């Protein structure tokens, strides 16, 4: 029973001064959430806030409409915290960590130098050594 309470607490977000429970996300919700999270790094500050709001609106679909959520008083800190919880619930955070960990193979224990770039005329460049 304690595990169920811990899980519910982990799936709780605060938005507009109200505590909401984010349930299992549907494909449609994930389809709205992932692009908004993916674009965060390419946006300016106001764009990031709007993208994070889209994450929250998608996660709370079925509990409140976007129009209802827009009426609630909130702040940037609350928006950021809520969207981070949704990112974790969606698996986006773990997916990103997994991709980052597997995208670049470890070079630990190797002492090789990178190959020199080819010469502009297409002939291989000679190594300095």
Q: Is residue 25 part of a domain?
A: yes
d(CA 118, CA 125): 5
**Residue 60 is encoded by which pair of tokens?**
């709370």
Q: Is residue 125 part of a domain?
A: no
Q: Is residue 57 part of a domain?
A: yes
Domain residues for the domain of 15 are 2-98
One digit per residue, the tens of pLDDT, for the chain of length 129 reads: 555 455 555 799 999 999 999 999 999 999 999 999 999 889 999 999 999 999 999 999 999 999 999 999 999 999 999 999 999 999 887 655 566 666 666 555 555 555 555 556 655 555 555
d(CA 90, CA 46): 23
CB of 17 within 8 A of CB of 10?
no
Q: Is residue 127 part of a domain?
A: no
**Is 0.75 topped by the overall pTM?**
no
Q: How many domains does the chain have?
A: 1
What are the backbone angles phi and psi of residue 127, rounded to the nearest 5°? -70, 150
């Amino acid at each position: 029973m304690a595990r169920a309470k811990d899980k519910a607490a982990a799936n709780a977000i605060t938005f507009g001064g109200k505590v909401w429970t984010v349930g299992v996300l549907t494909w449609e919700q994930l389809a709205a959430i992932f692009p908004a999270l993916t674009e965060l790094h390419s946006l300016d500050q106001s764009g990031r806030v709007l993208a994070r709001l889209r994450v929250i609106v998608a996660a709370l679909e079925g509990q409140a409409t976007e129009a209802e959520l827009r009426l609630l008083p909130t702040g940037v800190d609350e928006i950021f915290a809520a969207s981070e919880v949704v990112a974790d619930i969606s698996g986006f955070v773990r997916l990103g960590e997994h991709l980052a960990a597997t995208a670049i193979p470890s070079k630990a224990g190797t002492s090789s130098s990178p190959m020199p770039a080819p010469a502009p005329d297409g002939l291989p460049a000679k190594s300095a050594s």
